[in-house]
Amino acid sequence: AQTVTQSQPEMSVQEAETVTLSCTYDTSESDYYLFWYKQPPSRQMILVIRQEAYKQQNATENRFSVNFQKAAKSFSLKISDSQLGDAAMYFCAYRSITNAGKSTFGDGTTLTVKP
Amino acid sequence: KAGVTQTPRYLIKTRGQQVTLSCSPISGHRSVSWYQQTPGQGLQFLFEYFSETQRNKGNFPGRFSGRQFSNSRSEMNVSTLELGDSALYLCASSLTSGVAGEQFFGPGTRLTVL
């Protein structure tokens, strides 16, 4: 079974600074998808960024980028120019090609943005 | 396009009762997945339905069941409620059942069992 680990329960960053959230996973599969979701206090989960395991290029979405290290099974999220609206809980998630309807989530990292 | 809707948003029940939660996916989406979110266990997968068929099931007791209708709306039922069933129940819809299909989450139903 796949597992996802987020080792940082809480992180804080100064507005306009950069922060990196860590995620490691364990799988025996070679092809899969990885995701970062944001869950603000309103509780609606929103997709931030997606990475396909067979793509070596790291995904980027505006101020959000990932550092995907397949051999190390590491998938960190970098938020540049942090904004107050980035404050939320962030979840790393794994989806298998063979069991596509199920996402396995990490325990989440609560990000605080200080003005 | 309307997002994923879940009803009710809040629910209070007592032990031993049963409850039914509803999820309406985004129009055109055929896959609906359910998750339970608790502070202690985090987000755990319950099951996925695609075209009225259960495709995947998580490690939950048989008290947790679900179904999907021909219009892709899905319901989740929990019988003989226990205190530990108190949680935020999230549903997510996607266009297909494949991995590439982005999952869109609803706002959740907050269930409190007294």
Q: Which residues 6+ apart lie within 8 Å of A57 measured at CB?
A: none
Q: Which pLDDT score, from 0 to 100, does residue B97 have?
A: 64
Q: Which residues of B touch A101 (CB under 8 A)?
A: 31, 33, 48, 50, 55-56, 97
Name residue B69's amino acid. Answer: F
Q: Which residues of B touch A108 (CB under 8 A)?
A: 42-43
**CA angle, residues B91, B58, B107, in degrees to nearest 5:** 15
Which residues in A lie closer than 8 A to residue B45 (C-beta atoms)?
A: 102-104
Q: What's the pLDDT at B78?
A: 97
Question: Nearest residue of B to residue A102 by CA position?
Answer: B45
Percentage of chain B beyond pLDDT 70 is: 95
Name the CA dihedral angle for B6, B97, B70, B74, rounded to a multiple of 10 degrees.
Answer: -20
Q: Say if the Cβ atoms of A101 and B108 lie within 8 Å.
A: no
pLDDT digits (tens, 9 = 90+) for A49-74: 999 998 888 999 999 999 999 999 99
Is B85 in CB contact (< 8 Å) with chain A? no
- pLDDT, tens only, B64-108: 999 999 999 999 999 999 999 999 999 999 887 666 667 899 999
Mean pLDDT along residues A84-108: 89
Q: Which tokens go with B20? A: 């039914």
E-strand spans in A1-61?
3-5, 10-14, 19-21, 24-26, 32-39, 46-52, 60-61
Give A84 to chain B, closest Cα distance, Å: 21
> Is residue A108 within 8 angstroms of chain B, CB to CB?
yes
Beta strands (DSSP E) in A27-108 are: 32-39, 46-52, 60-61, 64-69, 74-79, 88-96, 103-105
Task: Using alpha carbons only, give the angle A104, B46, B74 rounded to the nearest 5 degrees.
Answer: 120
Diameter of chain B by CA atoms?
A: 40
Averaged pLDDT for residues B44-64: 93
Give chain B's mean pLDDT. 92
Which of A95, A101, A108 is facing B42, going by the closest CB pair? A108
A110 to chain B, any CB pair closer than 8 A? The answer is: no
| CB contact at 8 A, B55 and A101 | yes
Mean pLDDT of B32-59: 92
> Is A6 a residue whose pLDDT tops 70?
yes
If pLDDT is split at 50, 70 and 90, which confidence band does A38 have? very high
The C-alpha angle with vertex B100 and arms to A61 and B47, in degrees rounded to 5, equals 115
Q: How far is A100 from chain B (nearest CA, A)?
A: 5
Task: Evaluate if residue A11 carries a pLDDT over 70.
Answer: yes
Across the A:B interface, residue pairs with CB atoms under 8 Å apart total 56
Amino acid at B76: M
Residues A106, B42: C-beta atoms closer than 8 Å: yes
Predicted local distance difference test score (pLDDT) of residue B1? 67
Average pLDDT over residues A23-44: 90
Asked if B102 and A50 come within 8 Å (Cβ–Cβ), the reply is yes
Contact A103 B33 (CB under 8 A): yes
Q: Which of A47, A91, A102 lies at the smallest CB-CB distance from B33?
A: A102
